[in-house]
Amino acid sequence: MITAIVLIKTSVDRIPEIAEQIAALDSVSEVFSVTGTYDLIAMVRVRQHEELADVIPGRISRIPGVEATDTHVAFRTYSQHDLEAAFAIGLDS
């Protein structure tokens, strides 16, 4: 699974509607409204790199009110949830 973190600049007056439209896309798992330079951050998960082109410039960037995107592809995932699962292996028996 390929994960992309997409930073999105939008029309400020349409953030909730744009976030809902992005969240409704098949490959988008989460959308966060954030402070700072960008208005939204979307987590995009696809099986192949080629699918990123379909989702980001093909769908997200075409939503009215999306002004710009900045995409970062993750190499690895480090999370507390994953670490807890790894250390819990074999403890249930």
* Mean pLDDT, 10 residues at a time, the chain of 93 residues: 96 97 97 97 96 96 98 85 57 53
**Check whether domain 2-89 has CATH 3.30.70.920, yes or no:** yes
The whole-number pLDDT of residue 36 equals 96
Beta strand extents in 11-78 (DSSP E only) = 28-33, 40-46, 66-73
CA atoms of 60 and 65, how far apart (whole Å): 10
Specify the pTM.
0.83
Torsion sign (Cα): 4, 7, 9, 10: positive
Decide if 15 contacts 29 (C-beta within 8 A).
no
